[in-house]
């Protein structure tokens, strides 16, 4: 059975070149980068090179990159660390209601600790409601969280503009951006976005799972979540995973170098996919036309997401119903957009990578039509 993998927003297949580099670091240059001998010095040299690669991809200084275990840890470190460092400046936290769970859950934890949380819904097409977000910020606000690219419908937020407007309104607000779905796919510079911190993840760009990074603007202050050695500026203590960090750096360099070519290919795939979808009666598009081409969210009302996912998976076709972290729960993003329950309950997220082809889209669309017919006949769609 041929495998058609179209769930790249959840995770990507590791690039063989990147995987070989990680293996080399695990079996040859395997020293502890903190050790004061040749093996340690070599590991430290390789780790520094990876930090430079990631800094170039993020558009920041090398010393502003902190390696973490992934996007979730990076978000938690920024959010909880920033609030802990600003307890005297205010108690209000503002974020997009469509934020990823790794942003929403630490915010809800802080709300239980006595902070005020304001979650701002998007506009009906899923894009950021800039006026409402700015209005939610007041003199008591200490943290504002944005999302560069929405992980479910692919909308791209005007982070730089929001940052400037918020700074004018309250210069003490700490600005954090979740850019996990943007790295290597959407051109940006952490410095030009005007944020204090920004999170990214390795396994979204064909590197191994278990590694991420936090951009922390020079001069921005956060407190660590755990304590130990002095690694990563004391903010993320513990022996660094040199193999994963170096693999991440290599993948980031490859993504940066091929971004224009990859984006053109994926844009062509998305247009081809949308043109095929409109010929399937009953299919509704949830992603707006201006969304990133890498993510396409659709609904097939009358056919539950889980049922259709199983039908497609039995044929070797892999998509999702939303963020992998939601584990099948109804999309909070589509709910926040105000979509009716039948659209939310039947949503499918198709997410592309540069390796995908039009032939794979043909296979998906044919199977989608077959699934609708088969499930309608069996009465198992609902």
Distance CA 188, CA 294 (A): 16
Domain of residue 206, residue span: 16-256
Q: End of a domain among 236, 256, 276? A: 256
pTM of the model: 0.94
Task: Tell me if 166 sits within 8 A of 173, measured CB to CB.
Answer: yes
CATH number at residue 271: 3.90.1150.10
Residues 241 and 265 both lie in one domain: no
Q: End of a domain among 203, 223, 256? A: 256
Average pLDDT over residues 95-114: 97
Whose CA is closest to 100, among 16, 194, 201, 18?
201
Token digits for 55?
């800094």
Question: Active-site residue 296, yes or no?
Answer: no
The domain total for the chain is 2
pLDDT tens column, 43-60: 999 999 999 999 999 999
Write down the catalytic residue from 246, 296, 325, 353. 325
Burial class (CB in 10 A: 0-12, 13-18, 19+), 134: middle
Q: End of a domain among 256, 284, 305? A: 256
Provide the mean pLDDT of the chain.
94
Average pLDDT over residues 141-162: 97
Residues 248 and 263 both lie in one domain: no
Confidence of residue 124 (pLDDT cuts 50, 70, 90): very high
Confidence of residue 380 (pLDDT cuts 50, 70, 90): low
Residues 89 and 199 both lie in one domain: yes
pLDDT at residue 89, rounded to an integer: 94
CATH number at residue 129: 3.40.640.10
Token digits for 237?
């203590």
pLDDT at residue 375, rounded to an integer: 82
Strand order in the sheet with 65-68: 65-68, 212-216, 197-201, 174-178, 141-147, 92-96, 116-120
Average pLDDT over residues 52-78: 97
Average pLDDT over residues 241-249: 97
Residues 60 and 186 both lie in one domain: yes
């Amino acid at each position: 059975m041929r495998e058609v993998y179209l769930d790249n927003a959840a995770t990507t297949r590791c690039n063989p070149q990147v995987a070989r580099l990680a293996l080399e670091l695990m079996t040859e240059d395997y020293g502890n980068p903190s050790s004061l001998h040749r093996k340690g010095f070599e590991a430290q040299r390789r780790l520094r090179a990876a930090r430079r690669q990631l800094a170039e991809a993020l558009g920041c200084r090398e010393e502003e990159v902190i390696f973490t275990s992934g996007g979730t840890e990076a978000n938690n470190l920024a959010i909880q660390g920033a609030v802990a460092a600003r307890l005297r400046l205010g108690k209000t936290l503002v974020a997009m209601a469509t934020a990823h769970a790794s942003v929403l859950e630490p915010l809800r934890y802080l709300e239980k600790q006595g902070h005020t949380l304001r979650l701002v819904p998007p506009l009906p097409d899923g894009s950021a409601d800039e006026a409402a977000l700015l209005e939610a910020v007041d003199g008591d606000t200490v943290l504002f969280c944005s999302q560069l690219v929405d992980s479910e419908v692919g909308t791209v937020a005007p982070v730089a503009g929001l940052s400037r407007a918020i700074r004018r309104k309250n210069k003490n607000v700490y600005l954090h951006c979740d850019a996990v779905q943007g790295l290597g796919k959407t051109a940006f510079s952490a410095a030009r976005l005007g944020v204090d911190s920004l999170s990214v993840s390795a396994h979204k760009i064909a590197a191994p799972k278990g590694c991420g990074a936090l951009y922390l603007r020079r001069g921005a202050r956060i407190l660590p979540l755990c304590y130990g050695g002095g690694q990563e500026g004391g903010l993320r203590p513990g022996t660094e995973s040199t193999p994963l960090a170096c693999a991440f750096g290599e993948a980031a360099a490859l993504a940066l170098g091929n971004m224009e070519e990859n984006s053109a290919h994926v844009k062509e795939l998305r247009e081809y996919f949308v043109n095929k979808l409109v010929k399937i009666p009953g299919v509704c598009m949830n992603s707006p036309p201006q969304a990133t081409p890498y993510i396409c969210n659709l609904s097939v009302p009358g056919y539950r997401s889980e049922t259709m996912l199983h039908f497609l998976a039995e044929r070797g076709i892999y998509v999702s119903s939303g963020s992998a972290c939601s584990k099948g729960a109804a999309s909070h993003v589509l709910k926040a957009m105000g979509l009716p329950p039948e659209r939310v309950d039947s949503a499918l997220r198709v997410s592309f990578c540069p390796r995908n082809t039009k032939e794979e889209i043909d296979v998906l669309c044919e199977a989608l039509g077959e699934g609708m017919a088969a499930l309608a006949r069996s009465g198992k769609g609902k």
